[in-house]
Structure 1
């Protein structure tokens, strides 16, 4: 899940990478929270988000910053 990101040509440290992953999850949750009451989120999108959150939870549990 956490890939080595590069910003301005330099590799980011592990904690910065993890912060990016957490922000991306936050943005996706915000997007779904906006669309869900309008009936615009499909079952497959909900399942994909749930799977991504479960994977993120595992990474978060194992993270040693």
Structure 2
């Protein structure tokens, strides 16, 4: 499955992410994409954990309500 940033950067102008240092030009587009992918994955993992905690809390609440 393609990553979110692969969709986001399709047709992206890489010239916007070229840096010139001491007459040497560096294209940092791929590095920026990797950083964004890592950030998105970390946020996705956090969200999935939060959702699981909410589901567990809901189940616990239901079980406690049944025992009253």
Q: Same fold (TM over 0.5)?
A: no
Larger fraction in strand: 2
Q: Which has the higher contact order (CA 8 A, sep 6+)?
A: 1
Return the TM-score normalized by structure 2: 0.39
